[in-house]
Every structure is written in C-alpha cells, then in structure tokens.
Structure 1
C-alpha cells in the first residue's frame, strides 16, 4: 500500500505509536496521513519524542482529512466510536480496526458486553476476525479486518490448533492470564497509578471480562459447538507484556508430547509465533524472551 491513514484518540495512544513505529520502517508502507482528536495539530515527536527520527506528517483533525493518497486505514479509537467513523470512510479503503467494535459477529452479544447498540450492523457482516495465523486466507480477501484482542490472541493461538486436531477436550478449559498495564491505554485511571499497581498483582474483570465472548467465539467456531471457558485476568506491575497459562483435558490416548509436537509443526513457518524448545521451556530467562 502506498499510504496509511490513522485515526487517533488519546485513550489508545499506546497502540497508535506501536503501529507508527512498525510501519514507518516497513518496506511496503508509507504513512501519508494521521488524524487525531485532542492531539490534532501536533507532531508525533511532540507526543512521542522517541519517534523524532521518523519523517511523519503532522496529525490533523479527521474533518480535514484528504483520503486521495490513502490505500489502507488503521483505526485506534476507543470501543464504541469506530463503527460511526468507518461508516463514513470511502468504500475502496482497506481497514484494520484495533478496537473491539467488529470482533463479535453476534450484534446482540456485542451490545450485552459493551453496553451500547451496534451502529454499523451492515459493516459487521463483512468484517473478518484478524487472527492471521488461523484465518490467513479469509483476511487476504477482506476489506474490513477486526484486529483481535490481546488476551484472545495469546489464548487462541495455542488452543485452536489443538482443538482442531481433536487433541484436547472442549470442556473444563481454565485460563489464567497476566498482563502489563499499558494494555489499558494512556488515559488517567486511578487503578493504573504507580502507587496502585507497583509491587503487587490483582485479578480484575472476574467472570465479566469483555474478552470472554471473543475467546469463546473463536473456540466455538473450531469445536462447531458452544465452548465456555473459565477466564481470570490479572494486572501485573510492568509496562507491557502478557502471559496466559491454560489448563485443558487431553483427549484419550494423547500425550503432552503430542500437544507439543503438533504446535511446533503448526507454527514452524510462522514468523511471529515461536514454540520454544522443550529444554528452553524450563528456563525462566528463555521463556521471558517471547
């Protein structure tokens, strides 16, 4: 693509600068337009000084945006706002949405978990869930891609291949996840203050975390029946990173080695998924690398 268009809001600045950092050095992308709300009129280097070496356009208001040099759009807006924005974009644009607005196919389920009506049901019908390693062919043909959530990515990558190969049972799946604090965005929140999270760990969103329906949707698709999970997320005193530990029932006649070998074969050619050597998995320092 020749150009990229960014929609930015202060609540998702972390996702925004990560995309800018990656695409600014990408051989096939060029950043031609960036829009903002509260940061409109500012340069990227004034918001993120570590990107000062990049030749980036100044952020402007979306109402002043010219899409003539844009081929692809990356939306970094809070949940509940992207649907209305995307409805007004030119149909020829390829779109990747980083919010949760198009992840859940069931509109009623979206409204239940996110507490507001879905304002773009027609767009929802064409949205493709963007877990590339699992749905690569569908993503290739998609115009609108719903970027997966953080927890669902860490959980589905190991579980989907094992379920698809009937190596694990579809019931009694327990998931214990740990996350760094930057996943909550850059907005000022009391629960994310240094004095609140430093030197501690706590569970949150117990039984009602918004990523539960997304996780269960992906696993149910593979199982071709309703799958429910027991999911408990925890906030860790670190800026970024995530670890998910999953407890499953192995199918009759299957061994732990079978699970390992299958995951290694599935991801041997994937650039962004690394299955550690068995010996490395016992090393704390090695496991921290991925």
Structure 2
C-alpha cells in the first residue's frame, strides 16, 4: 500500500493537508487521514458551518483533550456527530474516531466526499479572493448604512438595482416604513448628496464582482418578480452604540495612497 502526503477538500472552500492511498476509494472519492492538529481545524470549520447552515445539514467533528497516555503522549477523544441521524434516532449518529498506528485520524473516510487538490496554491488563492470579495460587499453595506443613519438613525434596509455593474439606490427603509424613494421629489432628509455618498460606497465594492452569484454570496437578497431587472434588498447591520462615525469614511485599503 502506497501512502502519499497531499491536500484534500470536501467543501471546495477549506483545504487540509492529508495522507492517503490514492488507489483506495469510496464511491470514487479519496479516503484521507489527518494529524490531530488538522483534525482540530476540521472540528472548528465543521462547527462553524453547522452554526451557519443548521446542524441537520452538517456533520460536526469534536476534539476533547484528556491529558496524556501512559507513554506520555497527548491524549484526545475525536468524535463525529451526524445531527440528522441523531434527530432520526439512528444508533450510528455518534462515532468515536480512533487514531491509526501512526497517529492519523480518518475523518469522514468512506462517508464524506473528499477529493484531492491538485493545485493547492491556486485553490487557496481562489478561496482567498472569494472571501475578500464577500468581506468587501458586507463592509460596503455596513458603511452605506452608517452614511444613511447620520441623517435618518432608524435606517434598516434599502432596495438597489444593479445595471452594468453599477448600483442604484431605489428605496430606503427606516423604522419599518419607506423613508425615501427614487421617485420622491423632495420632502425627505435623505437628499441627493446623502444617497450619492451611500451609492458610491456600494459601487466601490461592486468593482470586486457584481454577478448575481457574487452579490448573493455577499448577503444581497434578490427581489422577487422584478421581470429580469437585477434588483436586490440589502439589510444594514444594527449600529453599535457610540461607534457611528461622524467623519468621512476611509477608502478601501486597495485605494489608499501609499
């Protein structure tokens, strides 16, 4: 049996160092084993995914430390929980994963869809770019909300149309009511300058990507029944007391002068 050290992924986003036999497959998927340190990272990632997506959608890994073995080696209990099977009363919902003779743990072996990553650097770079874009989109929404709240403190959401990669605010909601519409002719404290400043902040982030997939991954919710118009709802995070800025917002890092 030939074992190789490589990298694997199960979700397409997280990449882990692993050891595996390339000829040993489960339904075509590789069956990797991991060091305890890597198992700890998998545990953190699966638990975070369960919090985001719901426990019934995600198996989680847990590591409990238990001192040292009789030979002085660190001792840990590694456990996999299938919350869906647990909900169904299945006796296999909880699995204790014991290390092999060389101290490796077969996490999800013959159960999860692991695949080998041929170009780890390219995969990590792609994932980093995806994460950076999402952060930029979410940060732009937060900052746009701050701008609008300088005038109307109760602002909570806005409607946005995206045309040719450029955003256009069409409505703003405050205190569960429409505070401003694009068609309004005065009468709102949200004047053209304020709306323009908020729009400019959103436009900066859309330079990182404005496809429907990119916007939705960044938290923009598509409006229904818009007849082919790229219209979205953005919800502004709740303000932190005492932290609303009263000065112009800084540019994104990539636009700051050196």
* TM-score calculated relative to the size of structure 1: 0.24
Name the structure with the higher strand share: 2
